Amino acid sequence: MALHCGRACRQYLLHLAHDNVDFRLPALDFLPFKGTVNLKDPEHIFCLLEDYGSDPNDIPEEPFHIYFGRWIADGQRELIRSYSVKKRHFIGNTSMDAGLSFIMANHAKVKADDLVYDPFVGTGSLLVACSHFGAYVCGTDIDYNTIHGIGKASRKNQKWRGPDENIRANLRQYGAESLYVDVMVSDASKPVWRKNAQFDAIVTDPPYGIRESTRRTGSHKDIIKPPEDFSGESHVPVSMAYHLSDIFADLLNFAAHHLVLGGRLVYWLPIYRPE
């Protein structure tokens, strides 16, 4: 239960914490609580909050409101600061904001020992967020330079990426390297995985062609197979446009084949407000 109370309310609660508050407990006798009280390791924590307004110089004898509820969970907003992209070892032009990354991980219900996959992994911001909750993470991306952490840097006053700027280094920075499965260069439009349900969650941010190009391997020609005597050692696939509708069709089709029963697909969908 989330409650916003004024300064006077907090001061009064602090005052009660130093006094004997047992006089409040008999009023709760009607509640059907059973079992013993365990203050060191409780299964449930209940809170009684009294709101005496926001003026510390004019505190009434009786509270305006009384709130009684059970503790559900602690907020984790400090993660936004501690996982800030500004402090991250390896970033790119489209690295996902830390707050949004954690929101996506929460939507996917990521938990310990899950296997999470990002088919448009980029610099791995979503993998970092999912690994925080104990999930094993992996991903693919068509951009060779990003996957291998080479090429031009995205930071100001830095021309080229350093020798240890990569996704693994990001997870190492947050103590989650043991949860890093791997990432590889792959085209999201081409099947590279065995056709079985293997991922507990797919969390991704597909490219929209604005700050990051949308492309896939292929050819406009009818014949795309190389000659039979072609060795393939130095082959560089032809790059072609990857339309937004095709990206999401492939993503949904992939999730249908590779998500476990009850698994979740979480992704961003661009919208055009006038439409």
Terminal CA-to-CA distance of the chain, rounded, Å? Answer: 37
Backbone φ and ψ for 139, nearest 5 degrees, come out as: -170, 170
Cβ-in-10-Å burial (0-12, 13-18, 19+) of 108 comes to buried
Backbone φ and ψ for 24, nearest 5 degrees, come out as: -85, -25
* CATH for 102: 3.40.50.150
Joined tokens for residue 273 = 């407000």
Confidence of residue 209 (pLDDT cuts 50, 70, 90): low
In a domain, 275, yes or no: no
Joined tokens for residue 41 = 């390791």
Could you tell me if 113 and 236 lie in one domain?
Answer: yes
Q: Domain range for residue 31?
A: 7-70
In a domain, 218, yes or no: yes
R_g over Cα of the chain = 26
Could you tell me if 116 and 230 lie in one domain?
Answer: yes
- pLDDT at site 31: 81
In a domain, 1, yes or no: no
Could you tell me if 94 and 19 lie in one domain?
Answer: no
Question: Residue 201's beta-bridge partner residues?
Answer: 116, 264
Question: From the CB of residue 101, how many other CB atoms can be counted at a distance below 10 Å?
Answer: 25
Could you tell me if 196 and 60 lie in one domain?
Answer: no
| Neighbouring residues of 259: CB distance < 8 A, sequence distance ≥ 6 | 197, 199, 200, 201, 202, 265
- The answer to whether residue 181 scores a pLDDT higher than 60 is yes
Could you tell me if 13 and 105 lie in one domain?
Answer: no
Distance CA 13, CA 5 (A): 10
Q: Is the pTM of this model over 0.75?
A: no
Reported residue count of the chain is 275
Q: Structurally, how many domains does the chain consist of?
A: 2
Residue 209, sorted as left (phi over 0), alpha (psi -120 to 50) or beta, turns out to be left
pLDDT tens by residue, 232-262: 555 556 667 888 889 999 999 999 999 999 9
Could you tell me if 189 and 223 lie in one domain?
Answer: yes
Could you tell me if 131 and 198 lie in one domain?
Answer: yes
- Under 8 Å between Cβ of 128 and 174: yes
In terms of pLDDT, which residue wins out, 207 or 107?
A: 107
C-alpha distances in angstroms, 12 versus 2, 4, 24, 55, 68?
18, 14, 14, 11, 16
Could you tell me if 60 and 112 lie in one domain?
Answer: no
Distance CA 229, CA 233 (A): 12
Average pLDDT, the chain: 84
Cβ-in-10-Å burial (0-12, 13-18, 19+) of 167 comes to buried
Confidence of residue 90 (pLDDT cuts 50, 70, 90): very high
- Under 8 Å between Cβ of 214 and 241: yes
- Under 8 Å between Cβ of 199 and 263: yes
Could you tell me if 92 and 200 lie in one domain?
Answer: yes
In terms of pLDDT, which residue wins out, 89 or 237?
A: 89
Distance CA 31, CA 221 (A): 75
Distance CA 89, CA 78 (A): 19
Q: Which of 70, 103, 124 is at the close of a domain? A: 70
